[in-house]
Amino acid sequence: MRWATRSLGALVVLVVLVLTTVPATAASAVVPAQAARAAAGPVLFLGAQTSWVTPAAPWFTLSLGVGNNAGPAADLHVELTYYSRINDASHMAQATNATPDEAVLTHFDAPVTATADGLGVVSCAVILPKNGAQAPTPTPGTLGVCPPGAPTVTLDCQPATGRCGDVYPVTVALYQQGNSSALAHFTTFLTYQEPEYTASVSKTGGALRVGLILPVSSPPSSTLAPPSAADRRNAESLIGQIWAYRGIPVTLAANPLTVSDLAAATKGGKGPLAVKELEALETPADGDQLLTQPYVPIDPASLARVNLTSEIGAQMVRGDGLLRLSNLHPTGGTWDATSAAVSTANATNLATGLQAAQSGRLIVNDSDLTSAGSNNLTFAQPFTLPLGRTAHVTAAGADSQIDALFTAYPRNPLLAANQLLANLEFVHFENASLSDPRGVIIEPPPFWTPPKGFLTVLLYGLTHNPALTPVNLDQFFLQVHKGGNGEPATRHLKSGSTSAASGMTPGLGRRLQISRNNLTSLSGAASGHPHPAVFAILSDLLLRTESQTFDRDQRVAALDVFTHQLDGVLGYVSLAIQGTITFTSRTAPIPVSVLSSAPFPIKVVLSLDSNKFTFPDGNTRTLTLDHTTTPVRIQARSRTSGDRLPVGVTLTTPDRQLVLARAALTVHSTSISLVGVGLTVLAALVLLVWWARTWRRGRRRGPRAA
């Protein structure tokens, strides 16, 4: 009777919510039809349905909303068609997206009625396994029971044989009087459970393990601008919904920037409370897992491809540090690669990136994998994934067909949530008697905001479900084994070409590496307690440029923002040089003044260079700039006298990686050297001898000519 009580409880909640107005905080599997109508305006939409039925509680209720633009209620009716159980995965996909291929069990009409909240339909059917079966007699007054005269749906199966428990399509079509074409239609699913039979079967893997990964994140910007108020509210709402269903293990991929912004919010909203709820969800009692995350979303394969593996480590350290500042305790070891294309072309780079991120487990899209073999069951086991020639990781494939339902019907979100649950239950019922546990990973796209009611339906549908057991990622890899149920223990990536979609070109990789080297050099030159915060800000800006959400132009723009900010810090230091310096002796000091407006001490190296001078005491000086002006005099010896003798002045960081300033001195030397005097005298003597000899020869020739 325990399962009967739970099923009846679900029906009680459903009926109460359909027939009455309830607070928004009510924990239920449904959302009132009027709330769904307010959120969107389709012609026909699902407002609520029973999560599953059992032999002890066989009453299946559907609540539908009809758009006011469909016409008057008297001219409308809804036809409900029940089909036999789904046979295989292709039929499940067909039924989810179009008219089912299965045999029709029965169909009947339901009237459209007008209420204060608009047009709607409530249908209740009694679900029996076979002809002659009787529904149990409920306790008088029990809610959720179909009214007398409700239609009966017979599943045509033998109870307690493992043939009744399964997923059955139900199509819903809205018709107008005198028109044979449906105004609107969709397919939902009835799930029939036999908990007593499941419990009596020994040596089975049990319920399907469902590893649900939920992103708590906002798109990063290229600047240090915080998330928008709308993004903050979405994150608060998501955490609040998970908190309302605490005790259901899920894995949270919480972006450190988003969490940090929530923790710092002081005006309006519930940011700090949401962070406290995240902290409480990590406790063993609740079983939620918080994944270690990079500072911004990155593609490790793209970074490794342009030799930026060190940046992967910097991303992880910064992200982990921010989460821990909010008193959260993320766990590492598993990398979620579903938001980036993975193939044999970038497998080696991915292996390098995973090593830099210290991740030995991997989640990939199942669409990136080659076929699992001839087994027609949904592949639901972890496996070993070769990455290149030598690297191997333990991996699991996220079910892309199920993941698509997170965003399938933005105007009919409760239908999408119920279809998602039905697809999960179908995977379990493909072969519920397999000996080893099976499991699937599901997750929405990055920065997903759940439509109103979607997550409530999904989390409620995972609660006390005989066919499904929610687990976090650590539990998934612990409970579901590689090679279980005879499935392949090793799978392979599909072939493909390296994608340039990440916008991380070799040229940008080199520019980014130079930027990191310059920042590291400048940061190492600065001193002070604590270390100047400006360098942490600059590092964060540089890390943001690596976001995999950026295309090439956005990445270039982000790098330009960083370069502009770095140039501003470089501008703290400059050289004050005299225009011309005059030497009146052979040896004299060259005066140089270094200016600093930095609000912290900074160490620099001053260097002089000239082929017209030597420097007896060396041409470099290491200075600590802790005043506005730091004068220095470097002794120089001129090699020659003259005007406009050049001297180069360079200011660098101590490791010589980064030039902070350059200038050119002009020296006028009036000193006379002994060598110069000797050469002058010698030249004069030579000239005098030549003149004397010439004069004497001239005198001798003169009389002879006369």
Label residue 25 exposed, middle or buried (CB < 10 Å: 0-12, 13-18, 19+): exposed
Q: Which residue has the higher pLDDT, 34 or 426?
A: 426
- Please report, rounded to a whole number, the percentage of residues in the chain having pLDDT higher than 90: 65
Tokens of 376: 């027609």
Label residue 701 exposed, middle or buried (CB < 10 Å: 0-12, 13-18, 19+): exposed
Least confident among 106-115, 220-229, 463-472: 220-229
pLDDT confidence band for 138 (50 / 70 / 90): confident
Cα separations in angstroms, 211 against 386, 438, 605? 23, 11, 56
What's the mean per-residue pLDDT of the chain? 87
pLDDT in tens, 141-191: 777 899 989 999 999 999 888 889 999 999 999 999 988 999 999 999 999
55 near 161, Cβ under 8 Å?
no
With a cut of 80, say whether residue 680 has pLDDT above it. no
95 near 169, Cβ under 8 Å?
yes
With a cut of 70, say whether residue 343 has pLDDT above it. yes
In CATH, 573-671 is 2.60.40.10: yes
Q: What is the pLDDT of residue 22?
A: 29
For the beta sheet containing 620-625, the strands, ordered from the edge strand earlier in sequence to the opposite edge, are 580-583, 659-669, 642-652, 602-609, 620-625
Q: What is the pLDDT of residue 47?
A: 94
CB neighbour burial string for 628-654, b if at least 16 within 10 angstroms, e if fewer: eebeeebebebeebeeebebebbbbbe
Phi and psi at 166, nearest 5°, equal 180, -170
With a cut of 70, say whether residue 118 has pLDDT above it. yes
Q: What is the pLDDT of residue 40?
A: 42
Q: What is the pLDDT of residue 681?
A: 66
Q: What is the pLDDT of residue 137?
A: 86
pLDDT in tens, 558-580: 999 999 999 999 999 999 877 67
- Number of neighbouring beta carbons within 10 Å of residue 527: 13
- Please report, rounded to a whole number, the percentage of residues in the chain having pLDDT higher than 70: 89
Of 567, 401, 383, the residue nearest 488 (C-alpha): 383
pLDDT confidence band for 678 (50 / 70 / 90): low
With a cut of 80, say whether residue 140 has pLDDT above it. no
The whole-angstrom separation of Cα 580 and Cα 572 is 25
With a cut of 60, say whether residue 227 has pLDDT above it. yes
With a cut of 90, say whether residue 454 has pLDDT above it. yes
Q: Which residue has the higher pLDDT, 36 or 221?
A: 221
598 near 588, Cβ under 8 Å?
no
Q: Cα-Cα-Cα-Cα dihedral of 197, 198, 203, 206, to 10°?
A: 180
**Strand, helix or coil for residue 433:** coil
631 near 618, Cβ under 8 Å?
no
493 near 369, Cβ under 8 Å?
yes
Prediction pTM value? 0.85
Q: What is the pLDDT of residue 225?
A: 84
Q: What is the pLDDT of residue 467?
A: 93
Q: What is the pLDDT of residue 407?
A: 95
Phi and psi at 682, nearest 5°, equal -60, -45
The whole-angstrom separation of Cα 474 and Cα 479 is 9
Tokens of 296: 């911004």
Q: Which CATH superfamily is domain 2-200 in?
A: Macroglobulin (MG2) domain (2.60.40.1930)
Q: Cα-Cα-Cα-Cα dihedral of 343, 348, 352, 354, to 10°?
A: 30
Q: What is the pLDDT of residue 200?
A: 65
The whole-angstrom separation of Cα 551 and Cα 547 is 9
pLDDT confidence band for 499 (50 / 70 / 90): low
Of 264, 262, 291, the residue nearest 277 (C-alpha): 262
Domain segments of the chain as ranges: 2-200, 208-485, 506-570, 573-671, 679-706
With a cut of 70, say whether residue 702 has pLDDT above it. no
The whole-angstrom separation of Cα 478 and Cα 472 is 10
**Strand, helix or coil for residue 479:** helix
Least confident among 134-138, 163-167, 170-174, 250-254: 134-138
Give the mean model confidence (pLDDT) for residues 294-320: 96
Q: What is the pLDDT of residue 236?
A: 93
Q: What is the pLDDT of residue 4?
A: 46
DSSP label at residue 493: B
Give the mean model confidence (pLDDT) for residues 659-666: 90
Topology of domain 208-485 in CATH is 7-stranded beta/alpha barrel (3.20.110)
pLDDT in tens, 388-425: 888 999 999 999 999 999 999 999 999 999 999 999 99
Amino acid occupying residue 260? S
User: Integer distance in angstroms from the first to the last C-alpha of the chain?
Assistant: 156
Longest dimension (CA), the chain: 164
pLDDT confidence band for 676 (50 / 70 / 90): low
pLDDT in tens, 602-656: 999 999 998 888 999 999 999 999 999 999 999 998 887 777 788 899 999 999 9
421 near 457, Cβ under 8 Å?
yes
The whole-angstrom separation of Cα 76 and Cα 399 is 38
Cβ-proximal residues to 408 (8 Å cutoff; 6+ apart), any chain: 416, 419
Judge if 2-200 and 208-485 fold alike in CATH terms. Answer: no
The whole-angstrom separation of Cα 30 and Cα 50 is 8
With a cut of 70, say whether residue 24 has pLDDT above it. no
